[in-house]
Amino acid sequence: MEPKKKLINSADNCVDEALCGLVRASGALSLLKGHRVVLRSDLGNLRGKVALLSGGGSGHEPAHGGYVGAAAILSLHNAGASGVLLIVKNYTGDRLNFGLAAEQARNHGVAVDMVIVAEDCAFDQPSKAGRRGLCGTIFIHKLAGALAEEGCSLDQIVSQVTEVLKGIGTLGVSLSPCSVPGCLPSFDLPPGDMELGLGIHGEAGIQRSKVASADKVVKTMIDHMTNPDSQSHLPLKSGDSVVVCVNNLGALSCLEMAVVTRAAIICLESRGVEVARVMSGSFMTSLEMAGVSLTLMKANQETLRLFDAKTSAPAWPTVSSVCVSGRSYITNPEATSTPPQADTHSEGPLSPLMRQVLGRICSTLLEKQEELNSLDRAAGDGDCGNTHAQAARAIQEWLQDHVVPGCPGKLLSVLAGLVQEKMGGSSGALYSLFLTAAAGHVSEGRADAAAWASATHAGTQAMKRYGGADTGDRTMLDALCPAVDELRKLTAAAPGGQMAVLQAAVQKATSGAESTRDLTARAGRASYIAAERVTLPDPGAVAVATILKAVLESLEGQNFRPHCFTQTTAKMEFACSHVVCDWRPVGAASTGFSPTEHTYDNRVTLKKQGPVPPPVPPRHRPRPTSLPPHHLPPFQPPLRPSSLPPPVPPRIDKLEGENRLKVNVNVVSLSIGNLVDISQASGLENFQSPVICGKCSAALSCLSSMQSNVWVCEFCGCANNVNNSVTRVCIGQRAGVHSDDLYLPDQSEDDYQNLEDTLVVFCVDISGSMIVTTEVTSGNGFPGYISRLQGMQDALKKALLSLLQQSPHRRVALVTFGDEVVIYGDGTSTPLTLRDWALVDYDHIWQQGVAYTIPHCIAETYQQLIQRVKELREYGATSLGPAALASVAMASRYPGSKVILCTDGMANIGLGAMEQTPSLSSSSPLTPIFYTQLAEKAVESGVIISVMTFEGTDCRLADVGRLADSTGGRVNMVSIGTVATEIESASIDNVLATGVTATLLAPDGVYFPYEDENNHKLVKDIGNVTRGMEITVQFAVKPAFTDVFIQKDTLPFQLQLSFKTRDQQKVTRIITEQRPVTICSRIQTESLNTVVLGVHCAQLCASLTMEGRVQEAQRQLKAQQELLGKISKQRPIQQEENIYGNWMHTMTTICEDISPESEILSDEAAKVMYQMKRASSATSSNSIPTEKKKKKKKALVAGI
């Protein structure tokens, strides 16, 4: 082994040359001729002051010469100094040499004293040599120097710094050895290992282990430094204030130092320690050792005053005198508009496909990370794979929390913003340029093959224009340009040949990337590298080819058809394009109507002649882009020349057998999450109040007929007088077949609420069972164990940090429950404890919760909440019900707030205690009355409750989950590994609207099976709405009205949504449209929107199962599966449709295993049921695969 390379002239002269460099650069220091001694140039200023003397061996630069400036050394008595203080590190050589100097000086009549710095915290047991002196020495330099400059006496200085020394501790960690110039390394450290507690000369430490993350290493260091079991520990408690020195031992990069500094601040603050000052840099090194030491000095006002005193020492950093803890360090950009990635968007028919493509791209880039890094090391800095992986992860995170906009241009703008922000570097800028330029060429209405070809061409031109590169320059353009040229052939390709064009484009990109192996780089960082050293393909070109290949594979897997791109979708979407008038439920058991068959002949009364209504445009089509277009022709008004008889409908009694539909396809899907988001309705007119029918409360619309100020309601036939002065009369005279209107009544300023004025309450189980441990893999790869409560504490810390970073003005509160309920609030007030009789007093708990104020936001209470979480301990029973009640009461003060309830066991004390196990029979309701009432109270108060239980426990989720099901929250089961992610995700979910009521009106003669079978008006109190919420409703025609409706051209439908937005703005949104009518025999099943039918089936069957109506759920499932099977014989079943088939299989598995007399739903089955009740077309990617549920079949039902 050879000595390490050093950039010096010679090992013999390097110390003298280094000292010369120091003093010549400083301007205020000088060398004592003939000695390796650094002096202040202004020795005359020392008269009457104590001089300081310190030093040691070389290799620790900038110590100690860099700290000369507040004192000087040697001949100080002749300069008029009133005494000399020797500051010595506790090493034998240092003590001997400085001790000798002190004795010699005393012989000459000089007043001398010595302070020995021994602040090393490495060793647990005391030794004769004592603790070593490390980087804490520079704190003594600074404080003693400040005191000397103020004119303090030698005794005063010694007294003060000796007291300060008691509160200083240092510990180091090394990732590599160091070596004296011309010598071999002082010790060996295997690759991948680190050593804790070594000295600055390379002396052995106390422990070797595998290198861990910066956060873990810093935590280990501070844990060891403050361990009271160690004789050398630094006593540090919550509330103490410290000065932190993060010292680079020589070879860490500035990037690493900044990461460690952040970790040290966060770790100390999490313990309740105030970080008053921080200095980070190289202060006492060990040559080129890769490592860091942490020095903590307990500080009071006097210590900080001396620390902040000005000095001319060249190595002392400029440190702010502002306290680090508590200082706001995030500045919100004053953007004129919201970044595209932060906007909310509405889904469209392309959304599922684009989400699938993006997911495939991201996963592929993550798989290629190391390969791209390897290619980049030959001609760059080796991080091409890392930057692409950063972009992929950013997109994946965005996809988890956002809907994919239906407009491709908006999606490209979102992606441009994400890669610009998260990817960084030249690659991020180039991709962002491409996406930004391409975004203007595609839209929801123009997303055909020609538009995409134009978009990719525009993006490529922008990269050339601003990047300065072109084909042949050995860049990503060598893969992208040939592919884009090939894609331009899409404009002339027949639909059947467009996939072949895509395949050829990918082949061109792959060949182009491979060709860069033989090209000379003329752009980018590789252009500065000798050509003979660059023999591998360009990593940027390989990345482009990888992305295009992933797009192709995803489209091939989706049976992609480019001509489907122009489909549109509606927020009120029907499963069938026509209203089927003659559908009858099999057996008619659930409808209250007998399946009466009507006989028709040619003697049908003609309808009165009148003006022909406008045709219905074919705007409502299946949601998924991969579904084929409708085979039903667009509805046209029938021609009725006087010479032709009217059309005769077929006899319904002839429709038995194969043409008979067992599934009611009269289903409408209402995208409530989109409809209440009025930020997406900026183009709609808005008015103060609608004109309402006096009988059925329908609103005047574009379908309404007005004659002489009289409106005959199209839904109930009631005649309504309408005043001409009413501004909304214009709606009744507006042409069209669809209207979408907003009504915003006048409100006073007091009616509004700040968007941030909401509360997040963490309601956490700390009962005795939370002590149960789970085996986990530690950072060093060895197995370890963590209790449920420890996992919960870690999860809460992450959630609190996320809220602090994303919503610093949000209020956050903590409630715990065991034998008693403890309301900690925001952590700043005295906790309120509810125990004994109070746990069964509903009114008392509610009043206490409402009265407990949360005055501060998390930006002010973060430290206190973290400390409360750290202090939690397991004990006692499970008073879940009282805790949930108190949490809802606290949140009720702030509509739009949320409660996150986490538990690992069944409630067994206080309100809501579950002593008996109910069955799944209709006579024994599944949900106890307490949880039903509490859910209703939460809905009334605009509070969302999310419920999370631990896997493998029996929490009676079927009961407790009612709280989340009714309020719009999440129901989930977590593990130690997933609890942090789930809680953090639930805590940042935003409520879009509260107090939501949906009213669906159809003509008199229509009814709603399973809802209101005697009324053509359906009112549903929804309560709270979050993003992606979707409800489905089926309707049918009463037998007595079949004749009438079959003779009509269309039937009107109206949706009225009343709600309050997050800022408590009252809104009514009314959508009205008409649908053509038909009969069963004319329905082509392959044209049905099976996504709408599938969502409805999941929601309906899950609700029936939870109500104990298992046999009805089974009948519905069987009929739905038969329909899907029938469709599969007529056309291929697409992936998004298969997902709902998997849902049906899962529910069938659960239902088949339930015996109402002997068994109940297990927590696992209840979770599935609740998730299916909230199924939507936007959540299909999160559906439960059939294979997985087959494996868990036996766990879905629990015996008594």
What tens digit of pLDDT does each residue of 679-695 get? Answer: 655 555 567 788 899 99
Q: What is the pLDDT of residue 802?
A: 87
Q: Read off the amino acid at residue 111.
A: A
Which of 228-237, 782-791, 1043-1052, 1189-1198 is the least confident region? 1189-1198
- The single-letter DSSP state of residue 367 is H
Looking at per-residue pLDDT, the higher value among 507 and 1165 belongs to: 507
Which member of 77, 201, 402, 856 is catalytic?
Answer: 201
Query: What are the φ/ψ torsions at residue 436 (nearest 5 degrees)?
Result: -65, -45
- Backbone φ and ψ of 382, nearest 5°: 75, 25
Tell me if 1186 sits within 8 A of 1146, measured CB to CB.
yes
> 585 to each of 249, 1010, 1035, 1097, how far by Cα in Å?
80, 12, 11, 15
d(Cα 622, Cα 569) in Å, to the nearest integer?
7
Place of tokens 């598995």: 1149
pLDDT digits (tens, 9 = 90+) for 888-904: 999 998 888 899 999 99
Question: Domain 340-566: which topology?
Answer: 1.25.40
For residues 365-380, average pLDDT:
85
Q: Is the pLDDT of residue 603 over 50?
A: no
What percentage of the chain carries pLDDT values higher than 90?
A: 33
Tell me the C-alpha distance between 196 and 170, whole Å. 12
Query: Which comes out higher in pLDDT, residue 1188 or 45?
Result: 45
Q: How far apart are the first and last CA of the chain?
A: 72
Residue 877 has pLDDT above 60, yes or no: yes
Q: Is the pLDDT of residue 777 over 60?
A: yes
- What sections of 321-448 are H helices per DSSP? 351-367, 369-377, 384-401, 408-422, 425-439
Mean pLDDT for the stretch of residues 124-150: 90
Q: Please tell me which of 209-223, 953-967, 1075-1089 the model is most confident about, judged by mean pLDDT.
A: 209-223
Q: Give the pair of three-digit tokens for residue 473.
A: 């320059």
Q: 1195 Cβ partners below 8 Å, 6+ apart?
A: 1162, 1164
758 vs 918, more confident: 758
| Token pair 């500051």: residue | 87
Number of neighbours of residue 705 by Cβ within 10 angstroms: 11
Strands (E), 779-865: 783-787, 811-817, 821-825, 832-834
Query: How many Cβ atoms are within 10 Å of 65's Cβ, its own excluded?
Result: 25
Please give the full DSSP string across 748-763, using - where no structure is assigned: -GGG---TT--EEEEE
User: Which of 1020, 998, 994 has the alpha carbon at shortest distance from 941?
Assistant: 994
Query: Among 76-85, 286-295, 1135-1144, whose mean pLDDT is lowest?
Result: 1135-1144
Distance in angstroms (rounded) separating the CA atoms of residues 1113 and 1143 = 13
Cα–Cα distance measured from residue 1146 to residue 1175, given in angstroms and rounded to the nearest whole number = 13
Q: What is the CA radius of gyration of the chain?
A: 38
Question: CA-based angle 310:316:319, to the nearest 5?
Answer: 65
Under 8 Å between Cβ of 674 and 691 = no
**Alpha carbon separation from 663 to 666, 1075, 1132 (Å, rounded):** 9, 19, 20
β-strand partners of 765: 817
Q: Is the pLDDT of residue 528 over 90?
A: no
- Tell me the average pLDDT across 1038-1042: 89
Q: What is residue 519's DSSP assignment?
A: S
pLDDT recorded at residue 748: 59
Kindly state the percentage of the chain with pLDDT values over 70: 79
996 within 8 A of 1056, measured Cβ to Cβ: no
Give the model's pLDDT for residue 1047.
Answer: 82
- Record the pTM: 0.49
More confident: 1161 or 1181 = 1161
Query: φ and ψ at 372, to 5 degrees?
Result: -65, -40
**pLDDT value of position 601:** 30
DSSP assignment, residue 82?
A: S
Q: Which of 571-580, 622-631, 742-751, 849-858 has the highest mean pLDDT?
A: 849-858
- 923 and 882 in contact (C-beta within 8 Å)? no
pLDDT value, residue 625 = 33
Q: Which residues pair with 825 in a beta bridge?
A: 814
Catalytic residue list contains 60:
no
| Residue-level pLDDT at 1 | 59
Q: Which fold has domain 15-308?
A: Hypothetical Protein Tm841; Chain: A;domain 3 (3.30.1180)
Q: Reduce the DSSP state of residue 294 to 3 states and report it.
A: strand
Beta bridge partners of 1066: 1060
Q: Is 244 exposed, middle or buried (0-12, 13-18, 19+ CB in 10 A)?
A: buried
Helix-helix angle 1163-1173:1135-1152, to 10 degrees: 140
* CA dihedral (582, 583, 585, 590) positive or negative: negative
In tens, the pLDDT along 705-747 reads: 888 888 899 999 999 988 765 544 444 444 445 677 888 877 6
Helix (H) and strand (E) counts in the chain: 32, 37
| Crossing angle of the two packed helices 351-367 and 539-557, in degrees rounded to 10 | 140
Sorting pLDDT into bands at 50, 70 and 90, what band is 470?
confident
Whether a cis peptide bond, with omega within 30° of 0, leads into 62 is yes
Neighbours of 604 (CB within 10 A): 15
Cis, peptide link before residue 64, omega less than 30° from 0: yes
pLDDT, tens digit (0-9, with 9 covering 90-100), for 1140-1167: 666 666 666 666 655 544 456 778 888 8
Decide if domain 757-984 falls under CATH 3.40.50.410.
yes
In sequence order, the β-bridge partners of residue 677 are none
CA distance 527 to 522: 5
Render 1152-1168 in DSSP notation, one character per residue.
Answer: HT--TTTEEE-HHHHHH
pLDDT tens, residue by residue, 973-999: 888 888 888 888 887 766 788 889 999
Residue 1057: what residue type? L
Quick check: 430 pLDDT over 50?
Answer: yes
- Given a cut of 70, whether residue 77 has pLDDT beyond it is no
Q: Can you give the pLDDT at residue 1055?
A: 93
Contact 165, 115 (CB under 8 A): yes
The C-alpha angle with vertex 226 and arms to 215 and 328, in degrees rounded to 5, equals 50
More confident residue, 495 or 700: 700
**Which sequence spans correspond to the domains of the chain?**
15-308, 340-566, 757-984, 1085-1200
Q: How far apart are CA 1084 and CA 1091, in angstroms?
A: 16
Contact 951, 975 (CB under 8 A): yes
pLDDT tens string 535-566:
788 889 999 999 999 998 888 765 554 434 43
Query: Collapsing DSSP states into helix, strand and coil, what is residue 633?
Result: coil
Pairing of strands 1036-1037, 686-687: unpaired
pLDDT band at 534 (very low <50, low <70, confident <90, very high): low
Q: Write down the mean pLDDT value for the chain.
A: 79
The pair of three-digit structure tokens given for residue 308, joined into one six-digit string: 């902040």
